[in-house]
Amino acid sequence: MPQIIQSGTFLLRKIYSTTLYRSCSSFAKMMQAVCVDVPGGPENLVLRSIPRPTPKDGEVLIKVHTAALNRADLLQRKGFYPPPAGESDIIGLEVAGTVDTLGQRLKGNWKPDDRVMALLGGGGYAEYVSVREELLMPVPNNLTFCQAAAIPEAWLTAFQLLVFIAQVKEGEVVLVHAGASGVGTAAIQLVRLFGAVPIVTAGSQEKLQVAEKLGAAAGYNYKEESFVQGVCDFTGGKGVNVILDCIGGCNWEKNVNSLAVDGRWVLYGTMGGRALEGDLLGKLLSKRGHLLCSLLRSRSLEYKADLVKAFADRALPCFSAQPATLRPVIDSTFKLGEIAEAHRHMEANRNIGKIVITVTPQSEETH
């Protein structure tokens, strides 16, 4: 009898140990992420535990330390900008962190714990995200994770608009709307890098001062003055060669009036509305103007991979130069649990530069 009791005790211990292992193993495969059950306001952003993604062939699983906000995040939260087919429903288009797990059939030399930043189609507001290796970039040694998270979406967007779409040339004048935004602050610096001349619009004197410190040759407060007159004065009546426009509708006539003959007006957002009235085609035709429209999130993997490579070759080294010729501009940081407040901060249009989310805090004194 004692032997039977002992066997039973051993069996119970084994069952308990197995159950505990399975429970812990299951728990280890979960993560915290921000979910949106019902589209709407910032209060609809909910932090909960969900399964951690598993990297597929050609993918790398990143342990996310920081993510960053973009205007597209606000639209997705409201239900107006769903992710492309096959992408995560979780909001978030850029992250920085460390390599956690390597998928099969990788071509690069990525290693666990490598410091990386990534362009995403979605999934950034989470503790882990799986991403194609073509969309990874190494974090420059002199940048923190906070700074690195501010680079992929904003800087790649600005680089794409200037290089792939507008094909900006040395000496050209580029008008950047929302010059104190994440894309705007990146565009100013890239325009200078390419030997062109950036001028900006913004909604406050403080924002204009930041833009000018980054290299803007002139700035116009659209709430207080006509940027059309400012552009005319700055260019001697010739107009600008390139306009980077995330405003759209309400600015269309001012944009055309500011455009040089054969100029390129690059539209990548419609914060100022989509509908318009008036003689757009006639006015644009008289300038022989080019209206170029572009989005990045819906592009193919091949396009994004080419963009990441071009940016990594031409611009990324400038973040590490001594002194650095390019630098991300950080407005503020919030914890993942404060994501609703971060969204409210962006919706109030208070930010100058990027809003960054701390997902997995980590000491960065050595970086």
Q: By C-alpha distance, which of 47, 120, 145 is closest to 361?
A: 145
Q: For 216-258, how does the pLDDT look when each residue is reduced to its tens digit (9 = 90+)?
A: 999 999 989 889 999 999 999 999 999 999 988 778 889 999 9
Query: Residue 247: what pLDDT?
Result: 86
Query: 166: helix, coil or strand?
Result: coil
- Name residue, tokens 């950034």: 124
Q: What length does the chain have?
A: 367
Here the tokens at position 224 are 């207080």
Q: Tens of pLDDT along 161-188?
A: 999 999 999 999 999 999 999 999 999 9
The 10s digit of each residue's pLDDT in 92-144 is 999 999 999 999 999 999 999 999 999 999 999 999 999 999 999 999 999 99
pLDDT given for residue 10 in this prediction: 33
Helix (H) or strand (E) run with residue 292 in it: strand 290-293
pTM (two decimals): 0.88
Q: Report the C-alpha gap between 259 and 251 in whole angstroms.
A: 12
Radius of gyration of the chain (CA): 24
Q: Residue 3: what pLDDT?
A: 40
Which residue, 297, 240, 234, is CA-closest to 265? 240
pLDDT at 362: 57
